[in-house]
């Protein structure tokens, strides 16, 4: 112990190693900048100007924009059943897509009249090239029915959802609301960054042609000829070129309808010598089409009123904050200009800009709070000037980061901001090491220039190694694939830029500023201890010196300590591996809005769905935590690829909750309460949709049943639903295997058709037109496109018998009854047929109550399925959704961590030219896991992606402290000729304050994040507990392991050297 004290009190001005370090550093790249203050000042001006400019231009959003190449192939075949769509459309297209390259997943939906095939390409695929290849494959498809429209390929974004919704409510008619909505729609779509603004709740204007069946039969006119006559009468057709007197003229035949009267005057036939006009055989009227959707709004508990909603979608790369602000400003301007009447209210819902601002403000506020706390701590630990230099270094580092993020095309989002807040502790670590070294050197008698040069000389290698090891911990995350990989990639990129910037600032800017701002200090002032030293660290150092020295001298104490650490570590690892600690990928977060989805049995009409929705609305009126809500009946929630589809059995309610600071419960807690309160409604299925943090993922539980026979699939579907419904913790069980009302099937008799002189296409077309109506032409009036729809009088086809008695006119003008041409029957039918990778697949989704995890529930269900052996040969039952995401994500993240460990090992071997020294450092890593597990158990947190991020962050921090400690130990042995035990004790003593400062500043940096939201809580707890345990334990573990692995060899080498001399 005396040896340590004596070495510490020696004046280093006589140390040849120190003088050599000063001379060497003066002549290297670091000394070049440290000795040229004016050049550094110019660099500072450039950093500040470039960083602020980048910060003002960088786009802002909530989460990193996930750009996964996805496309949808849509084919419309009006009136066709799901089975016909599957057989005639979907199968034909899928056959061509089997050899498409770079495809991750193909799913398809075949439902009445529409085939939708969704192709998800690999994340690494180029969207433009993938879409081109897809279009080429689709163009090769032949043999589709003549009545089917051409397949349409549409690129889709994985996060394709509205960023804000404007709802109009007022004392206006449906026509006036629609007209006003279209005016606002056109205006908003002109705003840069907006891709589309679809209208919901409107009724389309159309010219309805209701043909009289008796008139057709009397005049022997076919329904198809009426449609053809209307279509041929409304033309604008190019005829080619005509040359007259050497001049080329383009010829066009123009006979466009300009009014409803033009439509009425269409000549259908003149067989009798008299022109029969459309108005002679049909009722032609201008009206609004039957409602497919109902949209209405309630504000402040008032009864609902009809509304038109405008959902704003942004383009890829658009700045959500700017787009939403521009849209809001334009709405206000239109109100001031009286374009929006004063009696029309505009209610805003689903405003994602609020979520983004809240997230950015929380993280920004956390960063500022952490910076202030760090400044106070450094002031107490060092002095006011060192604290000011450190405070200035933080924004300089961030400005460099902003410059490069903007230059590389990245956005400022919650993940990149979190990375900056997290990196506060990491970058301050490097500033503390340099400033503490300068402070210590000036106390020993060196001027500010010499002190800066010595500090850089001593610490540039461990600093570089430390920064590189931290970067190495994050960079392998770039190897994570899929949506999570796209979501995560901003994190390693941001942390790499930030830490490399911090390295530049700590080795160039900080020493140069210290040289200037500290040069007038008097030597006697340097002898004073800082406030933190006087009141805390000096006492801790004295206590630590005695404790660690005695500990290292006591073999039994070391063995006992090692056994305890090993047992606790294995126990912690067992708790994780044994699923004692639940696993959840991303937690639900507290938002300003939520969603209720209503699903009635397929075939339910709009009025019955509306009756159930009215019950829910009456319930919501009485909730004080509901500010407003928008109801849409006839359409599901707007999230997903099929947002434009309408179904009368579906509805959704978009709820705006009261402000977060004005309610006691969180949005997902309110959602759970609503779910319980509405559980009495049995007519339909009510689901409460909560939004989780992180990228888009599957449902918490997703069971997939694949096979061919629909009867077997249906049986397995019911069995799995029963398993889920009987399992505790499972809610909102739903299946996409929905039976629809029975199909009324017309089995056409080909022999009878031939005798009647009719074709299958003619009869099918007649039925489609008669029952459903068909658009004969499109008429443009005052820039409004209006469909002319032809149908039979619906009052004459209200029953099966009336349909059988319909007559179709053949080419000879003869009436032929449908009953002669076909057999009529009712057959069971499915509403939708779905494929997954070309196999018929039924998907069952379920949510999980807050205190349960999907992983545990799936394990339980899987055991039941295996025990009961319900899966026939040729069929499979697999589980996906969040469980699949968790397995894939954590598998890839663990692989990334293994790669990170190998990279860190490589860096450490290069640093120390030894395998034993990196082993000493790596032994400290399990210490952090102990703390993390303790934290999760105490706070009752699941092992989540956020906790995993905390572990990766801890890897870099713990390794950094260990590197500096080992480096100091080695220099003590080499330069001061200390014995190994004295050297490691002195290293721990001299580095105790920097290590504690690093840990405390890192913990301070993440404490405000713990209060931000549920996602950051997991990460904060991980860092706080993990770092606390690792810091305390490594001060004893590293000396013990270092002496065990290297102490004897060092003594042996020294003895050999002495023997030689």
Per residue in 96-105, pLDDT (tens digit) is 898 888 888 8
Q: Distance (Å, rounded) from C-alpha 416 to C-alpha 925? A: 26
**For residues 232 and 725, what is the distance between their CA atoms, to the nearest angstrom?**
58
Same domain, 129 and 244: no
Place of tokens 């419960």: 665
- The secondary structure of 527-540 as a DSSP string is TSPPHHIIIIIHHH
**How many CB atoms within 10 Å of residue 995?**
21
Find the angle CA(693)-CA(697)-CA(701) to the nearest 5 degrees: 110
DSSP of 404-430, one letter per residue? Answer: HHHHTT--B-HHHHHHHHHHHHHHHHH
- Of 367-376, 446-455, 547-556, the range with the lowest mean pLDDT is 367-376
Residues 211 and 120 grouped into a single domain:
no
Which tens digit of pLDDT belongs to each residue from 162-211? Answer: 788 898 888 887 778 888 988 999 999 999 888 888 887 777 788 888 88
Residue 968 DSSP SS3: helix
Q: What DSSP element (H or E) covers 459?
A: helix 448-474
CATH code for position 218: 3.30.2090.10
Residue 404 has pLDDT above 90, yes or no: yes
Averaged over 316-332, what is the pLDDT? 84
pLDDT band at 52 (very low <50, low <70, confident <90, very high): very high
* 881 within some domain: no
What would the pLDDT profile of 782-814 be if each residue is shown by its tens digit?
Answer: 777 888 888 888 777 767 777 777 878 877 777
- What does the pLDDT average to over 530-557? 85
The reply to whether 730 falls in a domain is no
**How many angstroms separate the most distant Cα atoms in the chain?**
133
Q: Is 50 exceeded by the pLDDT of residue 542?
A: yes
Q: What is the DSSP track for 67-105?
A: ---EEEEEEE-TT--HHHHIIIIIHHHHHHHTT-SSEEE
Confidence of residue 45 (pLDDT cuts 50, 70, 90): very high
Contact 545, 985 (CB under 8 A): yes
Averaged pLDDT for residues 756-770: 80
Q: Are residues 100 and 33 part of one domain?
A: no
pLDDT tens digits, 938-987: 888 888 878 887 887 787 778 877 887 888 888 888 878 888 888 888 88
pLDDT of residue 419: 79
Domain check: are 411 and 541 in the same one? Answer: yes
55 & 75 share domain: no
Does residue 425 lie in a domain region?
yes
* Token pair recorded at residue 132: 């081109």
How far is CA 313 from each of CA 152, 158, 620, 1060, rounded to the nearest angstrom?
Answer: 21, 13, 28, 80
Cα 962 from Cα 917, distance rounded (Å): 10
Residue 50 lies in a domain: yes
Inform me whether the pLDDT recorded for 525 exceeds 70: no
Query: Could you tell me if 121 and 267 lie in one domain?
Result: no
Helices marked H in 1-140 — which ranges? 2-9, 16-26, 29-34, 37-57, 82-85, 91-97, 127-139
Are 787 and 206 spatial neighbours (Cβ–Cβ below 8 Å)? yes
Query: Whole-prediction pTM value?
Result: 0.68
Q: Confidence band (pLDDT; 50, 70, 90) for 1057?
A: low
Quote the mean pLDDT of the chain. 80
Are 44 and 92 within one domain? no
Stated as kind and residue range, the H or E segment containing 300 is none
Give the whole-angstrom CA distance, residue 699 versus residue 854: 9
Tokens linked to 1051: 């003594």
Rg of the chain (C-alpha set): 37
Pair 448, 503 in one domain: yes
- pLDDT value of position 14: 47
Helix axes 414-443, 992-1010, angle to 10 degrees: 160
Tell which of 830, 861, 877 closes a domain: 830
Are both 497 and 370 inside the same structural domain? yes
Task: Say if residues 235 and 255 touch (Cβ distance below 8 Å).
Answer: yes
Instruction: Quote the CA–CA distance of 440 and 494 in Å, as a whole number.
Output: 33
Tell me how far apart the alpha carbons of residues 486 and 479 are, in angstroms, rounded to a whole number: 10
Confidence of residue 9 (pLDDT cuts 50, 70, 90): very low
Give the tokens for residue 1034: 């490594």
Q: Give the bridge partners for 815, in sequence order.
A: 809
Clarify whether residues 468 and 558 are in a common domain. Answer: yes
With 0-12 / 13-18 / 19 or more C-beta atoms within 10 angstroms meaning exposed / middle / buried, residue 335 is middle
| Residue 192, in any domain of the structure | no
Cα(110)–Cα(830) distance, integer angstroms: 10
The total of other beta-carbon atoms located within 10 Å of residue 251's CB is 10
Residue 658 is predicted with a pLDDT of: 86
Q: What pLDDT is stored for residue 418 in this prediction?
A: 74
Structural domain total, the chain: 3
Classify residue 389: in a domain, yes or no.
yes
Determine if residue 634 is left, alpha or beta; phi over 0 gives left, psi from -120 to 50 gives alpha, anything else beta. Answer: left
Q: Count Cβ neighbours within 10 Å for each residue of 189-198 and write b for 16 or more, e otherwise.
A: eebebbeebb
Residue 197 backbone phi and psi in degrees, to 5: -135, 80
Indicate if the pLDDT at residue 639 is higher than 80. Answer: no
* Nearest of 912, 931, 894 to residue 1030 by alpha carbon: 931
Same domain, 142 and 212: no
Per-residue pLDDT, 884? 65
What is the spatial distance between Cα 73 and Cα 119, in angstroms, rounded to a whole number?
Answer: 8
pLDDT at 635 over 80: no
Instruction: Evaluate whether 270 touches 276 at the Cβ level (below 8 Å).
Output: yes
635 domain residue, yes or no? no
Q: What is the CATH number of the domain that holds 538?
A: 1.20.1640.10
Q: Is the residue at 195 inside a domain?
A: no
- In the predicted model, is pLDDT for residue 615 greater than 50? yes
Residues with Cβ within 8 Å of 892's Cβ and at least 6 positions away in sequence, in order, are 479, 480, 481, 484, 485
Which of 796, 813, 830 is the last residue before a domain boundary?
830
- Domain of 135 in residue numbering reads as 69-156
Query: At which of 136, 156, 176 does a domain end?
Result: 156
* Residues in a beta bridge with 74: 116, 152
3-class DSSP state of 920:
helix
C-alpha span between 372 and 375 (Å, rounded): 5
pLDDT band of 109, cuts 50, 70, 90 = confident
Greater confidence, 811 or 728? 728
Q: What is the pLDDT of residues 203-250, one digit of tens each?
A: 778 888 888 888 888 888 888 888 888 888 887 766 667 777 767 767
What is the CB neighbour count within 10 angstroms for residue 1048? 11
Asked if 283 and 423 sit in the same domain, the reply is: no
Q: Could you give the C-alpha distances from 527 to 9, 380, 382, 443, 741, in angstroms and in order?
A: 12, 15, 12, 6, 91
Task: Read off the pLDDT of residues 408-432 as tens digits, 9 standing for 90 and up.
Answer: 888 887 778 777 877 776 777 778 7
């Amino acid at each position: 112990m005396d040896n340590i004290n004596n070495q510490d009190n020696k004046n280093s001005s006589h140390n040849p190693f120190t003088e050599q370090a000063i001379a060497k550093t003066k002549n290297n790249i670091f000394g070049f900048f440290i000795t040229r203050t004016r050049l550094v000042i110019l660099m500072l001006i450039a950093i500040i100007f470039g960083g602020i400019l980048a910060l003002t231009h960088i786009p802002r959003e909530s989460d990193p924009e996930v750009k996964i190449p996805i496309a949808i192939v849509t084919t419309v075949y009006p009136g066709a059943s799901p089975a016909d769509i599957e057989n005639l459309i979907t199968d034909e297209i899928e056959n061509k897509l089997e050899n498409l390259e770079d495809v991750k997943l193909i799913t398809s939906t075949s439902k009445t009249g529409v085939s939708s095939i969704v192709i998800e390409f690999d994340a690494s695929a180029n969207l433009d090239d993938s879409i081109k290849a897809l279009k080429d494959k689709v163009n090769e498809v032949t043999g589709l029915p003549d009545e089917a429209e051409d397949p349409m390929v549409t690129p889709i974004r994985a996060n394709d959802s509205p960023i804000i919704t404007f709802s109009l409510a007022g004392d206006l008619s449906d026509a006036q609301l629609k007209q006003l909505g279209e005016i606002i729609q056109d205006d908003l779509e002109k705003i840069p960054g907006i891709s589309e603004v679809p209208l919901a709740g409107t009724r389309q204007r159309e010219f309805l042609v209701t043909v009289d069946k008796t008139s057709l039969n009397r005049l022997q006119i076919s329904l198809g000829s009426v449609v053809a006559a209307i279509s041929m009468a409304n033309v604008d057709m190019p005829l080619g070129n005509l040359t007259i007197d050497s001049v080329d003229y383009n010829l066009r035949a123009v006979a466009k309808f300009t009014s409803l009267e033009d439509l009425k005057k269409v000549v259908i036939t003149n067989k009798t010598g008299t022109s029969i006009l459309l108005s002679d055989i049909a009722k032609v009227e201008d009206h609004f089409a039957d409602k497919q959707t109902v949209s209405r709004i309630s504000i402040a508990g008032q009864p609902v009123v009809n509304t038109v909603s405008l959902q704003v979608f942004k383009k890829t790369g658009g700045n959500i904050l700017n787009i939403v602000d521009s849209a809001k400003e334009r709405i206000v301007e239109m109100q001031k200009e009286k374009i929006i009447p004063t009696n029309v209210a505009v209610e805003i819902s689903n405003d994602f800009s609020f979520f983004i601002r809240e997230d950015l403000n929380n993280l920004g506020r956390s960063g500022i709070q952490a910076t202030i706390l760090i400044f106070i701590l450094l002031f107490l630990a060092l002095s006011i000037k060192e604290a000011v230099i450190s405070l200035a270094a933080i924004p300089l580092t961030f400005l460099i980061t902003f410059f490069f993020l903007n230059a590389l095309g990245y956005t400022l989002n919650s993940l990149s901001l979190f990375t900056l807040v997290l990196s506060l502790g990491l970058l301050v670590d490097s500033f503390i090491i340099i400033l503490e070294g300068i402070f210590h050197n000036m106390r020993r008698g060196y001027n500010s220039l010499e002190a800066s040069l010595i500090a850089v000389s001593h610490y540039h290698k461990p600093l570089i190694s430390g920064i590189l090891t931290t970067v190495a911990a994050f960079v392998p995350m770039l190897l994570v694939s899929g949506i999570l990989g796209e979501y995560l990639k901003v994190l390693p990129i941001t942390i790499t830029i930030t830490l490399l910037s911090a390295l530049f600032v700590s080795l160039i800017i900080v020493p140069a500023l210290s040289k200037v701002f500290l040069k007038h200090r008097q030597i006697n002032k340097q002898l004073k201890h800082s406030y933190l030293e006087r009141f805390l660290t000096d006492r801790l150092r004295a206590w630590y010196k005695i404790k660690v020295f005695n500990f290292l001298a006591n073999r039994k104490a070391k063995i006992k300590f090692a056994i305890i650490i090993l047992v606790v570590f294995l126990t912690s690892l067992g708790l994780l591996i044994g699923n004692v600690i639940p696993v959840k990928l991303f937690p639900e977060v507290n938002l300003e809005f939520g969603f209720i989805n209503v699903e009635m049995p397929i075939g339910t009409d709009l009025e019955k769905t509306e009756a159930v929705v009215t019950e829910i609305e009456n319930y919501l009126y009485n909730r004080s935590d509901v500010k407003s809500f928008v109801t849409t009946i006839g359409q599901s929630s707007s999230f997903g690829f099929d947002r434009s589809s309408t179904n009368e059995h579906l509805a959704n309610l978009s709820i705006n909750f009261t402000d977060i600071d004005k309610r006691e419960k969180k949005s997902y807690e309110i959602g759970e309460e609503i779910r319980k309160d509405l559980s009495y409604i049995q007519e339909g299925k009510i689901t409460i949709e909560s939004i989780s943090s992180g990228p888009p993922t599957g449902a918490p539980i997703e069971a997939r049943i694949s096979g061919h026979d629909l009867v077997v699939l249906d049986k397995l579907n019911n069995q799995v639903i029963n398993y889920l419904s009987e399992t505790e913790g499972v809610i909102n069980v739903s299946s996409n295997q929905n039976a629809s009302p029975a199909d009324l099937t017309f089995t056409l008799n080909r022999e009878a058709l031939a005798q009647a002189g009719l074709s299958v296409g003619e009869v099918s077309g007649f039925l489609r037109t008669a029952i459903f109506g068909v658009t004969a032409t499109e008429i443009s009036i005052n820039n409004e496109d209006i469909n002319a729809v032809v149908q039979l009088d619906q009052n004459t086809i209200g029953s099966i018998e009336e349909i059988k008695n319909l007559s179709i006119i053949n080419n000879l003008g003869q009436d032929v009854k449908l009953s002669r041409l076909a057999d009529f029957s009712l057959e069971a039918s499915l509403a939708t047929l779905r494929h997954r990778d070309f196999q018929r697949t039924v998907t069952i989704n379920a949510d999980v109550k807050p205190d349960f995890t999907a992983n545990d529930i799936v394990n339980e269900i899987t055991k039941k399925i295996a025990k009961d052996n319900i899966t026939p040969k040729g069929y499979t039952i697999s589980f996906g959704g969040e469980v699949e995401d968790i397995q894939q994500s954590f598998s890839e993240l663990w692989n990334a961590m293994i790669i990170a460990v190998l990279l860190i090992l490589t860096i450490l071997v290069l640093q120390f030219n030894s395998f034993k020294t990196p082993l000493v450092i790596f032994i400290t890593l399990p210490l952090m896991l102990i703390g993390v597990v303790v934290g999760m158990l105490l706070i009752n947190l699941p092992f989540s992606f956020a906790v995993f991020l905390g572990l990766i962050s801890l890897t870099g921090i713990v390794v950094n402290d260990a590197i500096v400690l080992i480096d100091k130990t080695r220099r003590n042995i080499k330069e001061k000729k200390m014995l190994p035990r004295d050297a490691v004790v002195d290293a721990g003593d001299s580095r105790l304050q920097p290590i504690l400062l690093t840990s405390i500043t890192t913990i301070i940096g993440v404490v405000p994040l713990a209060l931000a939201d549920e996602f950051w809580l997991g990460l904060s707890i991980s860092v706080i507990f993990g770092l606390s345990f690792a810091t305390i334990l490594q001060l004893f573990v590293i000396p013990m392991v270092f002496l065990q692995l290297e102490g004897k060899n060092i003594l042996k080498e020294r003895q050999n050297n002495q023997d030689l001399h």
